[in-house]
Structure 1
Amino acid sequence: MSSDSHCKTCQREFGRTNKGHYADKYDVIWKVVLMGDSGVGKSNLLSRFTRNEFSLESRSTIGVEFATRSVVINGKTVKATIWDTAGQERFRSITAAYYRGAVGALLVYDLSKSHTYENLDRWLKELRDHADNDIAIMLVGNKSDLRHVRAVPTDEAKAFAEKNNMSFIEASALDSRNVDTAFQHLLAEIYKRTSQIPMQDNLIYQNSPRSNIRTITVADRSATTKPPCCNV
């Protein structure tokens, strides 16, 4: 194959995933954080939304991990990078920096454990100390499949959300109830808040010193960008 034909082949492939070399197509990339006490089910909410998976033996998150999923909102393809922040007290100083740059957050509690709800004020303060003032927030009462042992009344949580200018939903990562709805609603709210801001597609998340944190680099897709094989 000649270099010209090889380059044309790469150009057809450029813009979509090909053996890990090229980024998929999207119009904008948004950072969303999951936050709340350890054990409320943040990791399973993440895996249910991004991979439609659930694990009964999920381990506690150490530091920060993330996964991605692309959705279409008002004709725009949005790539959401959803960060799962550790809920343990000893990791809070590590994860604080990861709130910066987030445009959305899911604040999660376990509706069967009242102490996870009582700690929401602390998590909300931490978020607002480190994130932008206009961040979109959704309160999620997870584990609605355990409503027979409910410890947090729905009306009380709804009132808390309204008081703090948050959306609210109860969901279950176990049976997937309202998981997609929660994320989609949050992303739609982010779109509403940012629709007047020009889309950016040259964002770069820098390397992290923690080996369990995936890092994403989004290439600038300007007219001058070429696939690696064409730089010869």
Structure 2
Amino acid sequence: MAYADYDADATELLETYDFLMKFIIIGEAGTGKTCLLHQFTHNSFKEHSQHTIGVEFSSRTVKLGEKRIKLQLWDTAGQERFRSVTRSYYRGAAGAILVYDITSRASFSKLSRWLEDARALGSPHLVTVLVGNKSDREEEREVEWAEASRWAAEHDVHFLEASSLSGDNVEAPFLLCARSILLAIEAGTLDPEKAGSGVSYGDRALRRVNSSSRLSFGSLSGSRRKSTTVRLKIPGTGVRCC
């Protein structure tokens, strides 16, 4: 699925929020999940990152149009010995950031198993974004963009590549996932008041999304700690995503 000229400023907010969404970050060990999340929440690369033990939690509030969304972010261990523990955190997730390493075919070949678990345990309306991490290491690439794009299309997930080292395109998967969930709420296919949806109303006590308060995504604006614009464009325009 292509999103042309999708601009977004993700803003850390201290104010109240409209929605609370649960996201899980999943994938094989060593794919850079923790570094990707740290770049998203702290706007910096995490040096000397160690393998996650079990599950680590963080959060960030972002702004999409006029809506403020607090993301609960569960970073899960990719090692097999923690699998029985981490799978319990998948329950009720509204979004999944599925990560592989573009320099590791082994991490790509095991994606189906991770996606199967997420869909079995997450929300019935789980939105998944596939992220090919370490795009800065093009010379070591083992998984071509076209191959990953086909896999994403076959499994009905969004796809893009990013670099947790440089920060390139790091915000995009989180914002794209949240945007898809908001659109599902607006369309009436996802009810935040339903148990297991992975979404709940926030402190602003928003109880209804209707035609008089439609979600606005045409030009997403705000101000970040360091002003950063994330652009998702169709293949061939500079940033690869679908």
TM interval, short-chain normalised? 0.7 to 0.9
Match of 1:69 in 2: 60
Confirm whether residue 48 of structure 1 aligns to residue 39 of structure 2: yes
Gaps of 5+ in 2: 1-12, 206-242
Matched position secondary structure for 1:97:
helix
User: Quick one: which amino acid aligns to residue 170 of structure 2?
Assistant: V
Moved over 6 A (4+): 218-222
Cα RMSD over matched residues?
Answer: 2.2
Is 1:183 the counterpart of 2:174? The answer is yes
Select which of 19, 27, 51 maps to 1:36. Answer: 27
TM-score, length-scaled by structure 1? 0.75
Identity %: 40
Q: Which amino acid aligns with 2:102?
A: L
State the Cα distance separating 1:194 from its structure 2 match. 2.2
Structure 1 Cα separation of the partners of residues 78 and 191 of structure 2: 34
Q: Select the structure of larger CA radius of gyration.
A: 1
After TM superposition, the structure 1 = structure 2 runs for residues 97-112 of structure 1, keeping only pairs within 5 Å, are: 97-112=88-103
CA contact (8 A) 1:142 1:173 kept: yes
8 Å CA contact 2:94, 2:181 repeated in 1: yes
1:146 corresponds to: 137
Q: Which residue identity does 1:106 align to in structure 2?
A: I
Aligned: 1:116 with 2:114: no
Q: Which runs of 5+ in 1 are unaligned?
A: 1-15, 18-23, 206-217, 223-232
**Residue 155 in 1 paired to residue 140 in 2?**
no
In structure 2, how many angstroms separate the alpha carbons of the residues matched to 1:155 and 1:198?
Answer: 35
Cα displacement string for residues 139-189 of structure 1 (whole angstroms, at most 9, x for unaligned residues): 000000011110001100000000000000000000001001121111111
User: How far, CA to CA, are the matches of 2:37 and 2:90 in structure 1?
Assistant: 17
What is the distance in 1 between the residues matched to 2:145 and 2:68? Answer: 33
Greater helix share, structure number:
1
Query: Structure 1 residues 153 and 220, CA, compared in 2 at 3 Å: closer, same or farther?
Result: closer
* Correspondent of 1:167 among 133, 154, 158: 158
